Amino acid sequence: MRKLSLFIILPLFASYVNAMSQDTVVFDIFSQNIGGLRYLVHEGCASLVGTDSTLSGSITIPSEILSKDGQIVTVTSIESRAFNHLNGLVKVVVPTTVSRIENEAFNGCVNLDSIIVEGVVSMGNNPFHNCDKFNGNNYSRSMRSEVIIGGNFLKRMILFQKVYHIPSGVHTIFSNALTDECSIDTLYVPDGVREIRGKSLRVVRKVFLPESLETLYATAFTSPTLTSLELPSGVNNLVIQDLDRSYVRPEFKRMSVSVENPYYDSRNNCNAIIDTKTNTLVLGCSTTVIPGTVTSIGDMSFYNCRNMVSINIPESVRSVGCYAYSGCRELQNVSLPQSLDSIKSGAFEGCWNITTMNIPESLVSLGDNALNGVGISRITLPSNLREIGRYALSGTGVERIEIPSGVIKIGQGALSGCRQLKSIDVEKGNRCYKSQKHESLVEISTKTLIASVGNRVPSKIEVIGDGAFMFNSNITDLEVPAGVLRIGEGAFQGCGNLRNISIPASTTQICDLAFALCRNLTNVVNYSKTPQKICPDTFAEYGTPHVPTGCRQAYQSAEYWNRFNIVDDL
């Protein structure tokens, strides 16, 4: 039988180790605790899954163990919290056979200050969580191995260092590798790193990226003091789509691309990164000057960009991508080209300081939330326009709106929350939509009320659309006409003067937030004998429901209706 070298070097282990000879370790896969270390064996590999709580000092993990049936098994991983709260642990030597160290593997090892890693390929999120003494100064590893650095790992290595060189051999850096607790001025990423994930190096002030880098997430750096970014020659995948609402964008002043990069460029010193093949601007900053050869502004390319006051998009551009300028709160003036045919979802969402924006005649499509929250008070929709997306103009400062004759699709909530809106019209010749008395917008085929600035629901309506009366201050008492089947999401949200509402028996669904923020709502007169389907915040606990006589029990038993004091007096 093959013999194994004795790797566990602690006298404390003696009572746990069953030695076949002086240099052989025997591991019984059916035992819970052998040698102070617990393993899970599967298909010839062993994972270290736990330890005896009394272990202390220095531990050298064996590369191989011997199972009960005499099979030699290779130790390949250290699983999550395997060394959980092992307070006496000071030093760990990990063999070359171990390729994975999982999330929080050494959680709470407060006295651990040294680890030797020689073959690890993957480190999970925060493997040294709550290891108060471990800061990376006594971390060493083989220069020949490749490592994926996971969340909060670098934090322990460079917590108080101003300049840091990541060890060579690393090939991937995962999210949260360096956290807000670190304070580092300059970071050197070694050659060999191929991928840097989002929110991984959040507090870096200056970074040097290697030519080996292939994939870079735009959110890798979120420090507001990082002012420049140079894309190396090897990057072929700049990931933009991982941006989210919490993304804190660095205040870039300079962006450039290596002249040897065949995938991206920064033509004309434009301070932006452009996809060379598609001529799409994929990432820009407040100092970007968009070249005249760019044909589209990419999704999220200027997302949450601060200190941008005005933009001039050249005539070569045909589309502005999803959320391209969303969150640019200091943006005031926007000049759009006459070549533009689409403004996609959320393109200017939340840019409430925009006071002027010319909508070109060439525009065909205005996407969902495209101008949601934009501060413009006047807007003329072009004659070529065909589609207006959901909430596309919601929350804008427009006072009057006319829907062109060629528009064939308007999403619900398109004009919701426009508090200054006084007049709605539809151009003569439009076969899909109509307006009544300059105060409502109705989809003809579905009998859906899209928006209203009046104080009533038009007759022959079957659906009151999402946000149709949102923040309408003209309504005090409202009778929903018979025949209405559905009251949409947020339909009357924020109608602060609404006191009483009457709902017909025909209505079978009242959606979420339909009467949210209606703080003066007193009576909800509901003629339906069967409780409608409602949501937790349909009424947000405002108003007293009045229902037909004898139906109180049914409502008190119905989900969400049972929160109210039901009165059956109709």
Q: What's the predicted TM-score (pTM) here?
A: 0.75
Instruction: Using the predicted structure, report yes or no on whether residue 262 has a pLDDT greater than 90.
Output: yes
pLDDT tens-digit readout, 473-514: 999 999 999 999 999 999 999 999 999 999 999 999 999 999
Q: What is the mean pLDDT of residues 251-272?
A: 94
Q: What is the mean pLDDT of residues 95-105?
A: 86
Strand partners, 356: 333
Instruction: Using the predicted structure, report yes or no on whether residue 410 has a pLDDT greater than 90.
Output: yes
Q: Are 362 and 383 in contact (CB under 8 A)?
A: no
So what's the pLDDT on residue 147?
Answer: 42
Mean pLDDT score across all residues of the chain: 84
CA distance to 254, 383, 398, 485, per residue, from 439 (Å): 49, 21, 14, 22
Q: Are 371 and 388 in contact (CB under 8 A)?
A: no
Instruction: Using the predicted structure, report yes or no on whether residue 148 has a pLDDT greater than 80.
Output: no
Q: What is the mean pLDDT of residues 311-322?
A: 96
**Residue 108 tokens, joined:** 């709470």
Q: Are 518 and 494 in contact (CB under 8 A)?
A: yes
pLDDT tens-digit readout, 328-343: 999 999 999 999 999 9
Helix (H, G, I), strand (E, B) or coil at 424: strand
Q: Are 318 and 304 in contact (CB under 8 A)?
A: no
pLDDT tens-digit readout, 219-241: 888 777 788 899 999 999 999 87
Task: Return the higher-pLDDT residue of 408 and 19.
Answer: 408
Percent helix, strand, coil in the chain, to 5, is: 5, 30, 70
Q: Are 138 and 163 in contact (CB under 8 A)?
A: no
Q: What is the mean pLDDT of residues 504-527?
A: 95
The confidence band for 385, taking pLDDT boundaries of 50, 70 and 90, is very high
CB atoms inside a 10 Å sphere around CB 183: 12
